[in-house]
Structure 1
Amino acid sequence: MSAARGADEAGERGYPRSRFGHTDLPEEQASALRRAVRLEIATLAFMVTAVVVVFLTMGSSQAMQTAWAEDLLALVPPLAFLIAVRRARKRPTSDHPYGFHRATGVGHLTAAVALLAVGVSLVVDSGLGLLRAEHPPIGTTELLGHAVWSGWLMIAAMVYTGIGPFVLGRLKLPLAEQLHDKVLYADADMQKADWMTALGTIVGVIGIGLGLWWADAAAALLIAGSIVHDGWRNLRAASSGLMDRRARTFDDEHPHPLTLAVDEVLARQDWVVDSRSRVRDQGHVFHVEAFVRPRPGRHVDIDDLETAVDRLRELDWKINDVVLMPVRELPETIPDPSRDQD
């Protein structure tokens, strides 16, 4: 009997079909993913124009040069998201039996490493500029037959590069929560705060115009510090996720409520005395390994197990693969999550 035919006959008999490694999202999330993809493509297009605009106006200002580097870095998270989404759609293979959902985690880690590495480099460069007391000159530019202070062009460029990411970031945040996508959230959170980079750069440029030579380097140092902060925070979150930290919310602020709900659902089964579960974040979806202790003398059959698995999958679309194992004693290595929700 073929696997497909066997699954169809199992469905006709009323047994649940296996969903191990499925890559299809519910319609609501699939629609959100399509919107997120369009927004990331729009982000790439906008940031390319921003990189060009800042490059053409940055002159010798260290703050502008640092802002330009940040705009270049802003291309990494959207690219990581688009590549990860495409990769995560692949079906499981013999070499990757858990599927490719963790491509989002790899994308998150890649973006974080890029941010942190370049941020540290910029902090060093900006700090040295401040120590050397460099005085960056801002001259004039010929524009439509008139001599214009180049600082005004720099300020206009910063206004342009600050408004776009702020709007795009706010549009992405609800989609990141809806999709439980940490790459999208990291991108949205950084872009939403980009107005601070633009404002800091504008202050630095105005400072040069007022004769405050240190304002430019100080603004560059502030921007570089912000990049390092974003990179370090995302590196911690991405590496912890890849090391099988228990599933957390999309913003990594708290353990995900589903880590408790799994054991609560299992406890409501009439044949279960107690349970302990491990919930791993695979990317958009979770993988659940649950160990249950049956009631003494209660015979547990396949129907009981499959019904319990169905109840877990009804909790949330994110619960993907479920492994349910009856045991005589619960594993001591799995702490009770209800006692530790920090």
Structure 2
Amino acid sequence: MDVYSNLKEGEKGAWVSIIAYIFCAALKIGIALYASSEALMADGLNNSTDVVASVAVLIGLRIARKPPDQDHPYGHFRAETISSLIASFIMLFVGIQVVTDAVSSLFHTRESAPDMLAGWTALATSVLMVFVYRYNRDLAKKTNSQAVKAAAADNRSDALVSVGTFVGIAGAQFQMFWLDPLAAFVVGLIILKTAWDIFREATHRLTDGFDQTHLEDLRATIGDIAGVSEISDIKARYHGSSVLVDVVIHVDPDLNVVQSHTITEKIEARMRKVHKINTVHIHIEPDQSIAER
């Protein structure tokens, strides 16, 4: 399956998330108003931002599928990463609002607990999000899509948030009224943490950051190819969910063009098989140590 097919397949995960979040947001906000639960309201607002964030991911995947053109000779793959960055800003805004409201509510004494219907609603939607998480997790592995992987991580955190909401509402039934706004506060912190993780990953990729340990794994794979005597330089960067590698290898100077080219083909084949990397730019240099022997 090529990168464009993976992007198209990844859109299914975005649509599943959008539908699930719309349902959960509408249900939670409606029940929260009826049951007077601040924690469930915060959880519902979290899901409403997830709808917008998932739409942003969907748009990013759609744009990333556009073929290269005159202005984008390398394609539009980074649109996928930009959409994740936009989603992080949306989540950050709502997270701050939820935390601010929760802190304010902690200093106001409540005289009654929220209806337990709010708690059961949170628990039921948590189970739903577990299934959505498992679907997107498996889809991310199948398509190697970072956007779908991020969506799966968000699905998992949302399931945990709803469990926390249930605990807060259940505790309030035993006259611990502070648990409901406290649960809302924790929900806000989880939203902020998720937003920060997505922001950090997106900005790291957009600034051509790459994990050094992974780079050394790539170096080791290329270094094991027969005919490669030395690797003097290797760089890698993300282009959407794809990885681009630039490497300078040294070979026996007595090899002819065809023999040298065969080595590059072996490198490309090994990188596709081991690391699922389809784009490797290889520069060949003569190994002077061999020439001097």
Category of TM-score, reference length = shorter chain: 0.7 to 0.9
- Deviation string 1:192-225 (CA, Å, 9 cap, x unpaired) is 2333222222222233333222111111011111
- Deviation string 1:19-61 (CA, Å, 9 cap, x unpaired) is xxxxx717xx94x655543343232122212111112111232
* Distance (Å, rounded) in 2 between the aligned partners of 1:114 and 1:305: 50
Q: Which residue of the partner structure matches residue 126 of structure 1?
A: 102
* Distance (Å, rounded) in 1 between the aligned partners of 2:52 and 2:286: 49
Contact 1:266 1:308 in 2 (8 A): no
Contact 1:133 1:213 in 2 (8 A): no
Contact 1:151 1:206 in 2 (8 A): no
Q: What is the 5 A alignment of 1:176-195? A: 176-195=140-159
Q: Which moved more, 1:213-222 or 1:84-93?
A: 84-93
Q: Secondary structure at the match of 1:279?
A: strand
Q: Which residue of the partner structure matches residue 177 of structure 2?
A: 213
* Distance (Å, rounded) in 1 between the aligned partners of 2:105 and 2:47: 21
Q: Which residue of the partner structure matches residue 169 of structure 1?
A: 133
Contact 1:61 1:137 in 2 (8 A): no
Q: Secondary structure at the match of 1:75?
A: helix
TM-score, normalised relative to structure 2: 0.84
Q: CA deviation at 1:81?
A: 2.8
2:187 counterpart (223, 232, 247): 223
* Distance (Å, rounded) in 1 between the aligned partners of 2:222 and 2:66: 30
2:46 counterpart (60, 70, 91): 70
* Distance (Å, rounded) in 2 between the aligned partners of 1:164 and 1:123: 25
* Distance (Å, rounded) in 1 between the aligned partners of 2:99 and 2:259: 59
Q: CA deviation at 1:71?
A: 0.8
Q: Which residue of the partner structure matches residue 2 of structure 2?
A: 25
Q: CA deviation at 1:266?
A: 5.2
Q: Which residue of the partner structure matches residue 11 of structure 1?
A: none
Q: Which residue of the partner structure matches residue 159 of structure 1?
A: 123
Q: Which residue of the partner structure matches residue 287 of structure 1?
A: 244
Q: Which residue of the partner structure matches residue 290 of structure 2?
A: none
Residue type of the partner of 1:261? Answer: L
* Distance (Å, rounded) in 2 between the aligned partners of 1:288 and 1:158: 45
Q: Which residue of the partner structure matches residue 320 of structure 1?
A: 278
1:90 aligns with 2:46: no
Q: Secondary structure at the match of 2:279?
A: strand
2:265 counterpart (302, 307, 310): 310
2:28 counterpart (54, 59, 62): 54
Q: Secondary structure at the match of 1:90?
A: coil
Change (3 A) 1:263 1:205: closer
Across the two proteins, how many residue pairs are aligned to each other?
A: 282
Change (3 A) 1:116 1:255: farther
Q: Which residue of the partner structure matches residue 291 of structure 2?
A: none
Residue type of the partner of 1:71? Answer: N
Unmatched tracts of structure 2, length 5 or more: 288-293
- Deviation string 1:102-145 (CA, Å, 9 cap, x unpaired) is 12211221222222232123222212221x2342755xxxxxxx
1:298 aligns with 2:262: no
Q: CA deviation at 1:273?
A: 3.4
Q: What is the 5 A alignment of 1:9-20? A: none
User: What percentage of residue pairs aligned between the two structures are identical?
Assistant: 22
* Distance (Å, rounded) in 1 between the aligned partners of 2:7 and 2:74: 21
Q: CA deviation at 1:272?
A: 4.3
Q: Secondary structure at the match of 1:281?
A: strand
Q: Secondary structure at the match of 2:272?
A: coil
Q: CA deviation at 1:227?
A: 0.9
Q: Secondary structure at the match of 2:281?
A: strand
* Distance (Å, rounded) in 1 between the aligned partners of 2:90 and 2:213: 27
Residue type of the partner of 1:282? Answer: H
1:101 aligns with 2:77: yes
Q: CA deviation at 1:304?
A: 4.6
* Distance (Å, rounded) in 2 between the aligned partners of 1:136 and 1:313: 68
* Distance (Å, rounded) in 1 between the aligned partners of 2:264 and 2:241: 19
* Distance (Å, rounded) in 2 between the aligned partners of 1:211 and 1:273: 70
Structure 1 or 2: more helix by fraction = 2
Q: Which moved more, 1:42-51 or 1:223-232?
A: 42-51
Residue type of the partner of 1:81? Answer: V
1:79 aligns with 2:36: no
